[in-house]
A and B are shown apart, each in its own frame.
Chain A
């Protein structure tokens, strides 16, 4: 029992202190679909244009998510992965509907993983063509 507690605490500490470990199973493909069909679509239609993954480096994307400031601080990046947000658009957005049951943290990690891959210094620099 004591050992189990130690292991659980150890796991929590690992995930908290070393987010990379938590990201190990992130799904960049799910992140890609969400980024392109939710983030990009909204930015294209309402925010002056898409933001390609390759406009930032891997470190810049990491810093962006850590700062958690969307629209120059008007709201939080985190909000756009929330169930509340997805529920609000799922009637008109297939990706939001498809991933409506995905935990918020998982979806955020998926998008981060895609952006790491598609960053300008990533394995496959990606644009929003």
Chain B
């Protein structure tokens, strides 16, 4: 959509800028409320308090089983913060110039926050990784500032497609294929069709982006009018309503089954692999020369990295299915965890078939092994990236990395570590397929593979699920016997009636 302002005509922007904050200052001269608005969003605070259970969430606080946590690694992690300079606890969250306008409004594709620069782009050409010979070009802020516009899929995707440390790694339903998908990958974002941007669904008002995974909506029964401020515009129902099918039987399914369950048959469909597991316990193996190593599969995907351990990657992944009522309980730093046969749930999606608030949702469950304190029985946070001499990615020393990491968080650490199996669930809601590719009835009710999509979902009777061929045979025999009995009985009655007409009219 064309804007109404040509920013290259603004005198404030026709000057050389030495830094991002200088550009922000120029933006704020006209867009006076923009920084204040951004400062009230989780893109800035990296905080969210769950009103249902009081848990303090957001990237500032939560743990995961990818790169684990941000606190000791801020200068690297904050290359996805909508600001400049957050490299320590001393960051000034109230300074308006620290807001990064360009990361969301650049239209040139040339603006990139540089690794390890705490949200700043490269102001001079820089080599990254050090010693690799690969150069990151300095950004021309003057050019970028004069070409700002509405946020595109590229702006959102710069961070959200690469969550977990690379393209498609984290979510499974979000990767760079969504920057320009064909209808098979996403029927709404189809670059030669509807061409939705992220903001078409994640409708934004005053810089508040609707549809955060920290506040998910599992069931939406609202009577929607698109644009209503008090409703969630990011649900399927906000456009399609809750009875979208012509077939009444399908609409009854929609009472208990999330749209995504049938309409996102698999994830990582765009040719980009997603990580399915990450085993930190094998990290640190070096070559005979003492150098870090990587191993790749036949398709070029990294499956071992000395800095990170072993990975399993996959494409066209069939999600797992659970009851979900919109509530997610996280295991946070300091929470007691038990190392046992079952993996620790880093986040637990709550819900059941009885609570009246749950629907059957598809999720990607990411499995891994990560550091754990066997004395305090808590998960641990390592210092991974950085030049302070303790980063695991530099020195491959878990003891140093965990001591430094836990010091940064301020949480207790006994000095002993082991690795614990963990699981983390991610809701699947992107990569909606064309309706011709939606699940068929048979994929749940009469799967040819013998394994139905919803076989593991408890608490429901589903025709065809877990069918026992002997029981089926017994049932059919009983039905046949009944039919035979009726026919024989009827035949006898007819025979008797014909033989003795008077008996037939008593």
Contacts and interface: CB of A to CB of B under 8 A. Distances in A.
Given A29-B179, A33-B182, A94 B315 contact: no
Interface residues of B, number: 26
Nearest to A128: B271
Interface in B258-295: 268-273
Contact of B300 (A29, A54, A94): A54
Contacts of A119: 300
A36 B193 CA distance: 14
Contacts of B168: 124
A114 B94 CA distance: 41
B303 to A, nearest CB: 12
A127 B271 contact: yes
B299 interface: yes
A82 interface: no
B176 A124 contact: yes
Interface residues of A, number: 25
Interface string B368-408: 00000000000000000000000000000000000000000
B137 to A, nearest CB: 10
Interface string A88-100: 0000001101100
Nearest to A29: B180
A98 B183 CA distance: 14
Given A32-B177, A54-B299, A129-B316, A94 B192 contact: yes
A98 B299 contact: no
Interface string A40-78: 000000000000111000000000000000000000000
A23 B154 CA distance: 19
A124 B296 CA distance: 12
A120 B177 contact: no
B357 interface: no
A37 B177 contact: no
A67 B270 CA distance: 28
Contacts of B273: 125, 127
Interface in A10-51: 29-30, 32-33, 36-37
Contacts of B300: 54, 119-122, 125
B372 to A, nearest CB: 32
Contact of A126 (B154, B182, B193, B271): B271
Given A37-B182, A124-B176, A97 B268 contact: no
B301 interface: yes
Nearest to B268: A129
A123 B143 CA distance: 26
B315 A129 contact: yes
Contacts of A33: 180-182, 191-192
B167 interface: yes
Max chain B C-beta neighbours (<10 A), residue from A97, A120, A122, A124: A124
A4 to B, nearest CB: 23
A129 B191 contact: no
Interface of B: 154, 166-168, 176-177, 179-183, 191-193, 268-273, 296, 299-301, 315-316
23 contacts: A29-B179, A29-B180, A32-B177, A37-B192, A52-B299, A54-B299, A54-B300, A94-B193, A95-B182, A95-B191, A95-B192, A120-B296, A120-B299, A124-B176, A125-B299, A125-B300, A125-B301, A126-B271, A127-B315, A129-B270, A129-B271, A129-B315, A129-B316
Interface of A: 29-30, 32-33, 36-37, 52-54, 94-95, 97-98, 118-129
Given A124-B176, A124-B272, 17 more contacts: A29-B179, A30-B180, A33-B181, A52-B299, A94-B183, A94-B192, A97-B192, A119-B300, A120-B300, A123-B167, A125-B301, A126-B271, A127-B271, A127-B273, A127-B315, A128-B271, A129-B269
